[in-house]
Amino acid sequence: MRLSYRLLLSSLSLCAGLAPLASAFADPAPVIAVNREIGLAMTGTFRNSVSGASSSVTENGGSGFITQSASASRYRTIGWTPGFRADASVMFNVFGIENLYGALHFSLEDGQRNYKSHYRSYSSNSAPFGFSAGGNDSSNGTDNRGEIGKGFLLLSDTFLLTPFIQGGYVTSGGDGDFGYGSGRYFAGAGLKADYALTSRLVLRGRFGWAEVLNSGISYNNQPRPLWEGGLGMDYRMTRRLHLTAGGDYSYISYGHDRNVESSTEFGTAYSYSGVSSALSNGLKLHAGLAWQF
């Protein structure tokens, strides 16, 4: 009896000693696991970018002869481009703080989109003039960004909310693929939500805001807000291999720029007024594979 008692105590001590080790190798909650991945996906991005400007000029030479002129232009780029994206994210505990989050994202697009441009001008001392053009043009760019945040587990570890801060750098060529201008920094914040519908399937959502610094539009170089939202899913096919898919929407408006000038010199009166605006929105679809570590 005493031997059995000692054996029981020894067994309990061994189990207690192995418990931390077993916990270390135990699978994390599904909503945590999807934030510990390295993934690669193919993408297709639809973008619609529109800009326009109009101006009017009045000149009075002082001899009763007045010249008036006006012009209006509009430019639009629309279509799909293929590409790919690479993502790496980690969620860990340190110094008693649970579920710290960090991620790096890179995406590249390269293809062609359709462009259309219209220009019209009028002058009181000449015939009206105008032209239209259209066709396909190259459209390419990269999006490089990083995120840092902290996750909060809710609903018996089936729901994870992760507020984060973000920053990055975008480049574009051709028609200004990402709509932010060519080679611009951005910084902002956002909120991620992960919900485990089953032990294998996690539904994912994301909402983000950022300021695009020095937006790159010739008539308005001020920072402009970029709004983003996305929905996706992560399905665990094996213990480590996951299938990922989803869509992300982005919108940026460069606002309305207005410029008014007037002068009177050497008996000549001159006045000018002009307005311009631009916006870009896009939808990026992606599907790929990720490796959980």
What would the 3-class secondary structure string for the chain be? CHHHHHHHHHHHHHHHHHHHHHHHHCCCCHHHHCCCEEEEEEEEEEEEEEEEEEEEEEEECCCCCEEEEEEEEEEEEEEEEEEEEEEEEEEEEECCEEEEEEEEEEEEEEEEEEEEEEEEEEECCEEEEEEEEEEEEEEEEEEEEEEEEECEEECCCCEEEEEEEEEEEEEEEECCCCCCCCCEEEEEEEEEEEEECCCCEEEEEEEEEEEECCCCECCECCCEEEEEEEEEEEEECCCCEEEEEEEEEEEEEEEEEEEEEEEEECCEEEEEEEEEEEEEEEEEEEEEEEEEC
Alpha-carbon span 231 to 248, nearest angstrom = 7
Q: Decide if domain 2-292 falls under CATH 2.40.128.
A: yes
Unique residue bearing structure tokens 């984060």: 164
In degrees and rounded to multiples of 5, residue 10 shows phi and psi of: -65, -40
Alpha-carbon span 116 to 243, nearest angstrom = 38
pLDDT at position 31, please?
97
Q: How far apart are the first and last CA of the chain?
A: 47
Alpha-carbon span 256 to 199, nearest angstrom = 49
pLDDT at position 274, please?
85
In angstroms, what CA-CA distances link 90 with 9, 34, 42, 57, 196? 39, 9, 21, 58, 18
pTM over 0.85? The answer is no
Alpha-carbon span 217 to 245, nearest angstrom = 33
The stretches in the chain having pLDDT less than 50 are 1-5, 7-9, 11-12, 14-25, 175-181, 218-219
pLDDT at position 189, please?
98
pLDDT at position 2, please?
46
pLDDT at position 262, please?
78
Q: Where are the domains of the chain?
A: 2-292
Are residues 268 and 62 in contact, defined by beta-carbon separation less than 8 angstroms? yes
Are residues 104 and 164 in contact, defined by beta-carbon separation less than 8 angstroms? no
Amino acid, res. 288:
G
pLDDT at position 190, please?
98
Alpha-carbon span 124 to 67, nearest angstrom = 6
pLDDT at position 244, please?
98
